[in-house]
Copies of this chain bind each other. A is one copy, B any other.
């Protein structure tokens, strides 16, 4: 078991407390991260229906998985065997049959079909089809959007979680160092990623790495104007910049980092943009402390950009912790103006400045932890434009 039973029980109690506040008696979460958080379940089975089911009064949640994954649930969760609910293989991609037919039957058997049931309407993998199955199968239930209830329980980390993230940060540093060494003119992008991936999985002698919830992002040249491009088998070109965004992963906990490397002498505009970006990041992070809001951090960040007359429309950060594909963001706090979320100790976020200027761009980021009096960075790696 990765965490103590007490820690899992605390997570459940906080979730049930939030459910009571929202008037929910049953909560169905298809969010892979939330399933992991509440049960310990960890497998690449999220490509079809599975969920954690929380009853407001029960001492354990239920983990609902397909038959082929029952063995994984017995190994990975802390739950009693009776709380792992297995659905039949006949439901896998055999529409109009669907795993949620089996879920509806389960809810009826337990006589939960007249309860106030929360579902995570906009969470990854909670498809419109699953929702319709529940609505049609449970006409007497009151089904509402629980929004990001469990995500918000995840917002403040325990010391055990912080320690895992510190381990992930060490892996991120190692991998970024390898990235900076591997990106050279005439080298294929994929060959640089090969070395980065190797570093991400080797981790440290004490901590092994895992697959990240986002692939290594590696926009290069004109691609630096687009933040989510991945490596191809084309070669790096002298005179061009490359953005590297990656994350070490330790027991599913992430600590992402982004840096920009330039091959050959950069134009002055890129040097200036990188300097302004880093000044804005540092200024924003200086406002990251308990009692301040996400907006306070954003105001400081955009204050610097305004000084340099730089426009940026997108948010500049989001909460982090557990991650499964396709995202390592927690979908709670955003570092943007008007986000009035109050920062508290052990809130953790990825403060990332994606700066796009037509057909070029630069990026840098820090993973930040709110401490008792201020904040600290998870990674120790220079943010300057890395020129080689």
CB interface residues, A 54-112, toward B, < 8 Å: 67-76, 88-90, 92-95, 98
Q: Are A126 and B124 in contact (CB under 8 A)?
A: no
- Binding-face segment, A13-21, A40-48, A298-306: A40-48
Once bound together, how far apart are the Cα atoms of A127 and B122, in whole Å? 5
Instruction: Kindly list chain B residues whose C-beta atoms are within 8 Å of the C-beta of A232.
Output: 208, 210
Once bound together, how far apart are the Cα atoms of A94 and B69, in whole Å? 34
Interface residues on A, range: 35 or more
Copies in the complex: 2
Once bound together, how far apart are the Cα atoms of A106 and B207, in whole Å? 49
The answer to the question of A125 belonging to the interface, with a C-beta cut-off of 8 Å to chain B, is yes
Q: Are B211 and A354 in contact (CB under 8 A)?
A: no
Q: Are A128 and B130 in contact (CB under 8 A)?
A: yes
0/1 string, A204-234, CB within 8 A of B gives 1: 0001111100111101001101111111110
Task: Give which listed residue, B42, B68, B128, B202, contacts A119 with CB less than 8 A.
Answer: B128
Task: Give which listed residue, B92, B315, B327, contacts A314 with CB less than 8 A.
Answer: B92
Q: How far is the CB of A19 from chain B (nearest CB, A)?
A: 19
Q: How far is the CB of A374 from chain B (nearest CB, A)?
A: 26
Highest count of chain B CB atoms <10 Å: which of A90, A125, A191, A228: A228
The answer to the question of A153 belonging to the interface, with a C-beta cut-off of 8 Å to chain B, is no
Once bound together, how far apart are the Cα atoms of A129 and B74, in whole Å? 32
Q: Are B313 and A88 in contact (CB under 8 A)?
A: yes
Instruction: Kindly list chain B residues whose C-beta atoms are within 8 Å of the C-beta of A71.
Output: 222-223, 225-226, 356, 359, 361
Instruction: Kindly list chain B residues whose C-beta atoms are within 8 Å of the C-beta of A95.
Output: 122, 147
Q: How far is the CB of A167 from chain B (nearest CB, A)?
A: 10
Report the 7 A-B pairs with minimum CB-CB distance, sorted nearest first: A208-B233, A190-B208, A71-B226, A72-B226, A128-B131, A122-B129, A194-B201
